[in-house]
Chains A and B, each alone.
Chain A
């Protein structure tokens, strides 16, 4: 079974631009979660989508948004980029939503650099 894939792997943008990252979950998985990893804050939860609906949201500004398609693929968007948005963005998929014992499997991440 193929793992979680994320595209692109690397991205360079300038301040004020917007960016869209893509995540394809493991086949059959319906939940997709997004996390931001930075050296200072570590891994932080952004949001989770299940059946095309946002189920949970972390403590991030409205510039961070996402969506999920009927095939469970997900995209996240960051508008009006700031230097502090430079980070590794990780996507994780699981079978269901809201089940603690349902393991989340992570993709390799997208490294975003904002200049």
Chain B
């Protein structure tokens, strides 16, 4: 049973536009959420995180929104750049008690 779901395996966005990546979770015990970015032949790189006590966290071009009632989070990238082309993983944590639970990833392709 997948507790963290990324329903879009891939997403294509034009350079300069906004990229929105979505993630849903089912376990209400999750209280910390993260986004990782992964290039081929490299390990995932931490991008941004959000605690369940917040509904928004911003870091430069990246903003994560959390809707606890809908058990949904999204990552916004504005403006999208060619270097943003990668696989993005949504991950969740239960207060650090267990390892991270990951979604299966969304392959973001930024088109020139």
Contacts and interface: CB of A to CB of B under 8 A. Distances in A.
Interface string B24-45: 0000000110101000011111
B70 interface: no
A65 interface: no
Nearest to B98: A56
Nearest to A6: B43
Interface size class of A (residues with CB under 8 A): 20 to 34
19 contacts: A33-B99, A42-B105, A43-B102, A43-B105, A45-B98, A45-B100, A47-B99, A56-B99, A90-B44, A92-B43, A98-B96, A99-B96, A100-B32, A100-B51, A101-B32, A103-B49, A105-B46, A108-B43, A109-B43
Interface of A: 4, 33, 35, 42-48, 56, 58, 90, 92, 97-109
